[in-house]
């Protein structure tokens, strides 16, 4: 497989709830554990922020994945959403009958459950959940079961199929804390890390206070939101970007094949292209003094690269995959994009919109420290 991912039906459900229902001001729960691993608790977080994060994931998949796989047993959670109908009509989301191969992934699920339950209290609750579910088809703590048992099941599916897995934001948050992102290396993960690193480099150059870095929205989401006129436009714009970024998506597929085959020569070749882009961004940054807030970040910003660095590399970065990567790195970020998203849902100046902007900005700093 070239450029395929496994994702949660839960992610599409959350994205659909935002696209159809807009901002609601509700709360969600995030799993946290104490520093001594003596117990766990739930911390309240913004459901709108969770839904927005799921939407941003979905838009990114539309642009960069050849196909995304979901479990066919859960598609009813999101297929009601008309805004998501292009995902099936364009064959971007493919439902797989994972229950037919459950004998293959069930043993792995139990192992991953052990990894996700990091304290005795979690292990005990999971055991009670399993026992009660087998007896009554209901769990003592359904949400805990959804996060941990369900998450372990998806990790197991990804392990058996040898597929990169992108978890729902609430699962991903926990997986990251406990270093439980198992599975093969993903070309899309490498792309995200690279683009984020370069965006932070640029934003630190022009904003010494660090505000823009804290509000570093995913670039695809920023580009889609910027171009959309209504919330109904979001998927249409994402599909347009999918066509525009066809060459980069193909490159990612080839990169993934190289990673799957452990083809060191091909991997280094693609890393060399990334480093060409990084050198170009370095040249651009060097043309401006640190903290120069008068410059306008955008594609025209790249023209200053001729003032430093390699003119040949500068020319290469104006075309093809390199140019697409530069566009992602210099995608708009900051409060204006969140404000535009609120406007799309009719909440630009409302209490809901203001709270959403505040909560999104605060979400990273509110995360608990990773357990040791």
Cα dist. 196→172, 213, 215, 301, 326 in Å? 17, 10, 12, 18, 12
Cα 325 versus chain centre, distance:
17
Cα dist. 224→77, 233, 284, 332, 358 in Å? 24, 9, 25, 10, 21
* pLDDT tens readout for residues 48-102: 999 999 999 999 999 999 999 999 999 999 999 999 999 999 999 999 999 999 9
Contacts of 371 (CB under 8 A, 6+ apart): 33, 35, 37, 118, 177, 178
Q: Where are the alpha helices (DSSP H) in 137-163?
A: 142-147, 149-161
pLDDT band at 334 (very low <50, low <70, confident <90, very high): low
pLDDT above 50 (res 135): yes
pLDDT at 131: 96
Longest CA pairwise span in the chain (Å): 71
pLDDT above 80 (res 185): no
Compute the Cα dihedral for 275, 6, 177, 37 and give only its sign: negative
User: What is the mean predicted confidence (pLDDT) over 190-202?
Assistant: 88
Distance, CA of 264 to CA of 132 (rounded, Å): 49
pLDDT band at 214 (very low <50, low <70, confident <90, very high): low
pLDDT above 60 (res 34): yes
User: What is the mean predicted confidence (pLDDT) over 241-261?
Assistant: 93
pLDDT band at 209 (very low <50, low <70, confident <90, very high): low
Answering whether pTM is above 0.75, one says yes
Contact call for residues 83 and 232 (beta carbons, < 8 A): yes
Q: What is the DSSP string of 161-191?
A: HT--EE--HHHHHHHHHTT---SS--HHHHH
Contact call for residues 167 and 150 (beta carbons, < 8 A): no
pLDDT above 80 (res 317): no
Token pair listed for 129: 């959940």
What rounded mean pLDDT belongs to the chain? 86
pLDDT at 116: 92
């Amino acid at each position: 497989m070239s450029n395929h991912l496994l994702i949660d039906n839960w992610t599409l459900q959350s994205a659909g709830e935002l696209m159809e229902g807009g901002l609601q001001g509700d709360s969600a729960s995030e799993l946290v554990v104490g520093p001594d691993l003596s117990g766990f608790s739930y911390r309240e977080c913004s459901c709108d922020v969770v839904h927005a994060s799921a939407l941003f994931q979905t838009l990114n998949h539309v642009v960069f994945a050849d196909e995304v796989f979901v479990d066919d047993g859960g598609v009813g959670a999101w297929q009601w959403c008309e805004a998501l109908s292009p995902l099936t009509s364009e064959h971007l989301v493919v439902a797989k009958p994972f229950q037919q191969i459950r004998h293959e992934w069930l043993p792995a699920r139990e192992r991953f459950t052990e990894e996700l339950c990091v304290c005795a209290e979690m292990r005990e609750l999971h055991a009670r959940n399993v026992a009660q579910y087998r007896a009554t088809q209901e769990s003592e703590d359904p949400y805990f079961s959804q996060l941990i048992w369900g998450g372990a099941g998806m990790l197991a599916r990804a392990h058996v199929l040898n597929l990169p897995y992108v978890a729902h934001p609430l699962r991903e948050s926990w997986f990251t804390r406990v270093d439980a992102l198992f599975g093969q290396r993903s070309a899309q993960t490498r792309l995200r890390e690279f683009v984020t690193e370069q965006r932070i480099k640029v934003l630190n150059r022009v904003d010494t206070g660090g505000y823009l870095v804290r509000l570093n929205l995913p670039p695809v989401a920023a580009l889609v939101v910027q171009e959309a006129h209504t919330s109904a436009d979001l998927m249409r714009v994402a599909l347009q970007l999918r066509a525009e970024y066809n060459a980069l998506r193909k490159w990612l597929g080839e990169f993934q094949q190289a990673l799957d085959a452990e083809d060191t020569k091909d991997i280094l070749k693609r890393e060399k292209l990334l480093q060409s882009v990084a050198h170009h961004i370095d040249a651009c940054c060097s043309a401006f003094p640190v903290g120069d807030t008068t410059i306008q970040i955008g594609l025209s910003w790249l023209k200053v690269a001729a003032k430093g660095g390699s003119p040949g590399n500068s020319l290469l970065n104006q075309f093809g995959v390199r140019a697409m990567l530069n566009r992602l790195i210099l995608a708009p970020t900051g409060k204006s994009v969140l404000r535009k998203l609120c406007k799309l849902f009719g909440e630009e100046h409302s209490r809901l919109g203001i709270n959403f902007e505040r909560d999104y900005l605060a979400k990273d700093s509110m995360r608990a420290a990773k357990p040791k």
